[in-house]
Structure 1
Amino acid sequence: MQKKQPKKPVSVHWKVRLTRANHKQFIARTLNIASRYLHIESEQNLKTGESIKVEIFALHEGVKKLLVAIGTVKSSVLLSTGTSYSITLSLDKVSDDDHQFVEAYIKARESLAIHR
């Protein structure tokens, strides 16, 4: 029996508000998104294993939506610019509605790549 491969992340540039456990908030931007994974660029460094509330200001097919999730930092690497970090988050808790919105966005982006 062959294991189902996860979908590859797709490029996306949405604003993100991150809230740390101490309730400090800051703004970042998405670079890639997948079903249960988010890659962002931020001026703030986050510790691996830290739990973060993620609010994504998404736009797809004319629909604006606030996607809310709880994520865990998997990695945080200082970029060559020296002023921002590349952060990988796993999205642990996402509502079904928000998950379906992300899946629809990924499917639309994949179909665009096929038609190129």
Structure 2
Amino acid sequence: MQKKQPKKPVSVHWKVRLTRVGHKQFLARTLSLSAKHLHIESEYNLKAGEKVKVEVSALHEGVKKVLVVVGLIRSSILLSNGYSYGLDVMIEKISEADQAFIDDYIRARENLIGAR
């Protein structure tokens, strides 16, 4: 049976370490996430189609976890601040435990918003 996936990304601001194919690493931060996408703010512009490894330092309900994702840059746009880029990363490979952590976080955020 297929799990019901959330429809909208939820806002989150966690630290990220991006690793490009050439093994160059740099720091960034998440803007939002969904079950299949990460939206990241970075000082570096990456090309659409580039594969990256993303290590997210996540915190939810007192649990710290490093989420490891292999993804594909779908788009990169200059943000309105003029010096950082918004990267849309499609998740291609993630462990079941990391995906469950993301799904739990999204459900908790949706329940929090729905309780308003």
Q: TM-score, normalised to structure 1's length? A: 0.94
1:34 maps to 34
SS in structure 2 opposite 1:107? Answer: helix
Q: Structure 1 counterpart of 2:92, which letter?
A: D
1:7: Cα distance to partner?
A: 2.2
- Aligned equivalents of 1:15, 1:5: Cα separation in 2: 24
Residue deviations 1:51-84 (CA, integer Å, cap 9, x gap): 0000000000000000001000000001122210
1:48 maps to 48
Q: Structure 2 counterpart of 1:78, which letter?
A: L
- Aligned equivalents of 2:88, 2:43: Cα separation in 1: 14
Residue deviations 1:15-74 (CA, integer Å, cap 9, x gap): 000000110000000001000100010001100000000000000000000000100000
- Aligned equivalents of 1:6, 1:12: Cα separation in 2: 15
1:82 maps to 82
Q: Structure 2 counterpart of 1:9, which letter?
A: P
Contact 2:16/2:57 (8 A) holds in 1: yes
1:100 maps to 100
Q: 1:17 to 1:5 in 2, by over 3 A?
A: closer
Identity, % of aligned positions: 61
- Aligned equivalents of 1:35, 1:5: Cα separation in 2: 7
- Structure 1: gaps (5+ residues): none
Q: Are 1:7 and 2:7 matched, yes or no?
A: yes
Q: 1:5 to 1:67 in 2, by over 3 A?
A: closer
- Structure 2: gaps (5+ residues): none
Q: TM-score, normalised to structure 2's length? A: 0.94
Residue deviations 1:56-114 (CA, integer Å, cap 9, x gap): 00000000000001000000001122210011000100000000000000000000001
1:5: Cα distance to partner?
A: 6.8
CA RMSD, Structure 1 to Structure 2 (Å): 1.1
Q: 1:15 to 1:34 in 2, by over 3 A?
A: same
